[in-house]
Amino acid sequence: MGFPADWLITLILVGLLTPSACYNFCNSSRSYMSLHVPTNIRQLRVGDISLVAGLGDSFTVANGARSTSFSRVHEEYRGDSFSAGGRGAYEYGSTTFPNILRVFSRHLYGYALGPGNVTSFNARFNMAEAGAAFRHMPVQARRLIYKMKNDPYIDFQNDWKIVNLFTGQHDQCMACANMTKYSPAIYKNTVRETLDILKENLPRTLVNLIEPFNLGLIEEMMRLDPFCYYASRFLECDCDIFTNKTQMQQLASGYGRALRDLVKTGRYDGNNTFAVVIQPFFRNFSLPRNGPGIPDALFFAHDCLHFSSSSHGVLGIALWNSMLSMPADKATNVNIDANVMCPSTEYIPISN
């Protein structure tokens, strides 16, 4: 694959300014890149990944992540997105998934560079959109494919890709009006359609299928800060979190089961160039708490709904560690004090 001049300059500067000891915080005697580009996804190493992309809603957009007031929580800080943002670098404390991956794959391309909407230069392959529901994922998948096919700096057929798919949050905020429309069954069918599109049109791709975040948990935050309640209720979430907390919890749980059931069908097994792996770290997520046991407001943006920039760093580590873990070892909660894992298997685990 080739790179635009500005990208090459960035890579060179990072190489010149980064201490050599920081290039790889893992065992330097191990090889994390294949000698030859693999043709089988089950022989894929982290250093073989060339492209990273994200599909989803405002949680992948990173709404309000670096906001300094509520008036800015609708700003899109894509470069801070835990799954598809690459602002800064791991060496300087930014632990989004792409930034960790860049430690092993210095040629990585596609992560969002900074703020901006989906059509901005900074967005790159972060195709998520604020307000997007799961029904919008097939469209996002097609737009991603089109954008990759028309990017002159990548080898569409041969570059190995990771697509992080995270959807189902915004739907919890709308389901109270029509539970049938937002049912786990329809969610499952729509995610299946999205994955089928990627499978048929995006060669050499690993999809990290991230279980949804339970918005019902935010109810405790709302009780502590009435402003957060009114702001989210009337500006962001159509459903009242106080009266619909249980429904949201059930919906998030149902969406997670739907994803697991879909993958267990074996629909995406046995393909040498495409795979889907469940990443379950939100399944039993609990709110981080401070010393007195009060939910830690610093984990969230000023709306108490979206994640703060520092939390995107925590979640980037959670996604990375989950991807490197065998199915039985994948965490179903987020450890905010977790360290970045080094690959302990020769290849990225491709199993559920």
Residues with active-site annotation: 58, 171, 306
**Residue 30 burial (10 A CB sphere; 0-12, 13-18, 19+):** exposed
Dihedral of CA 97/99/102/104: which sign? negative
Alpha-carbon gap, residue 166 to 185, rounded angstroms: 17
Phi-psi category of residue 272: left, alpha or beta, with phi > 0 → left and psi -120 to 50 → alpha: alpha
Q: Rounded to whole angstroms, how far apart are CA atoms 76 and 66?
A: 9
Distance of alpha carbon 338 from its chain centroid, rounded? Answer: 17
C-beta separation of 82 from 138 below 8 A: no
In angstroms, the CA 261 to CA 209 distance is: 12
Q: Report how far residue 63's alpha carbon sits from residue 66's, in angstroms, rounded to the nearest whole number.
A: 8
Beta bridge partners of 71: none
52 three-state secondary structure: strand
DSSP class of residue 109? B
Q: Are 252 and 304 in contact (CB under 8 A)?
A: no
Tell me the C-alpha distance between 215 and 237, whole Å.
10
**Contact (CB, 8 A) for 149 and 38:** no
